[in-house]
Structure 1
């Protein structure tokens, strides 16, 4: 009989889903790994009650449900804030705010009770801004401007990507690398760039020339 177990082996020993074992250890129902990183001793595993471990798992909840739940928790109106994307779940897991229970790393399954705790936080908008980056389309909506205007903001160097993600657009014929931007940096742009008439920029009709183009020209003339 083995003396130490990883998560899969421990779940097999108790005949419970591996997601149940992960939640039991994350919630404190089972002690932290005591036989090395990610490994538990036989004594710890055998002391865990299979029924208690199995009963503690309610779910798990898929990324789609989590994204919808957090979007609803933001309330209305959500001016300039896009719906919470599926990818947010992976970022929240990576930040330790939700517990990975299974599925894809980018779109994981998590425990619904932990989601409910996060959804009740009064600082949920700030929490999402801090931990969930935005793609260009999401960033433009977060700022309340057209995508073309956000692209111009990027060209001006007012904001730079904090990372990238590869997305497989099968109908476009392959993988596309998409830049990701800090939601906090996006939200702070009107504060750090007060010379811009953000209200005028936000009400521009489609097809109208952006005032940012003139601003870009003056920046180039000054050699900035």
Structure 2
């Protein structure tokens, strides 16, 4: 297998990191990423835009992305940029359950059933030790929002009305294997 490296001098401008691309996108949305505050747009969104082939990853590094700033400028100029970013914003499992207005345990059943898969994960540390680190799954907002339409057989109103301690109707379902 022959490896073809990208020649940086062949690009009109020097590639930028996924974080820098996220900063440019946030700026274009009018919600700049400010140091010390929660980012409005993260590198997660940039990786999803790469997955959607709106940006090309120029890096061979699996832990980071390099993208062409001209492509980022084209993405920033899109009329649907707010919707595109919102659809690809990460949600943790608690946030996903909250967005669906279901209990976390019901969302866990959806995971077990294979109705949704994590788009990525992030390591969260508690304290300063790696011993306190856990991986938290991240889901695209559009995937979470699509669950009710993808599974109309679920009585969503009844599922949302369940109280703590009540058995989930999802508990008895068997995952469908492909």
Please give the range of the TM-score, normalised by the shorter of the 2 chains. 0.5 to 0.7
Do the aligned partners of 1:71 and 1:84 also contact (CA within 8 Å) in 2? yes
Instruction: Answer 1 or 2: which has greater helix percent.
Output: 1
Do the aligned partners of 1:63 and 1:89 also contact (CA within 8 Å) in 2? yes
Which residue number corresponds to residue 117 of structure 1? 74
Which residue number corresponds to residue 95 of structure 1? 52
Instruction: Say which one has the larger Rg.
Output: 1
Contiguous gaps of at least 5 residues in structure 1: 9-17, 24-55, 77-81, 199-210
Q: CA RMSD in A?
A: 4.3
Do the aligned partners of 1:62 and 1:109 also contact (CA within 8 Å) in 2? yes
Do the aligned partners of 1:90 and 1:105 also contact (CA within 8 Å) in 2? no
What are the within-5 Å matches in structure 2 for residues 124-163 of structure 1? 124-128=81-85, 132=88, 134-136=90-92, 139-140=95-96, 143=99, 151-157=104-110, 160-163=116-119
TM-score with structure 2 setting the length? 0.59
Residue 88 and residue 194 in structure 1: after superposition, are their counterparts in 2 closer, same or farther (change >3 A)?
Answer: same
Q: Give, in whole Å, the separation in 2 of the partners of 1:7 and 1:141.
A: 43
Tell me by how many angstroms 1:86 deviates.
Answer: 1.5
Residue 95 and residue 84 in structure 1: after superposition, are their counterparts in 2 closer, same or farther (change >3 A)?
Answer: same
TM-score with structure 1 setting the length? 0.49
Which residue number corresponds to residue 178 of structure 1? 136
| 1:104-135 superposed Cα distances (whole Å, 9 cap, x missing partner) | 334312122211111121222443466x4724
Q: Give, in whole Å, the separation in 1 of the partners of 2:97 and 2:77.
A: 24
Contiguous gaps of at least 5 residues in structure 2: 32-38, 174-178
Number of residue pairs aligned between Structure 1 and Structure 2: 156
Larger RCO, structures 1/2 (Cα 8 Å, 6+ apart): 2
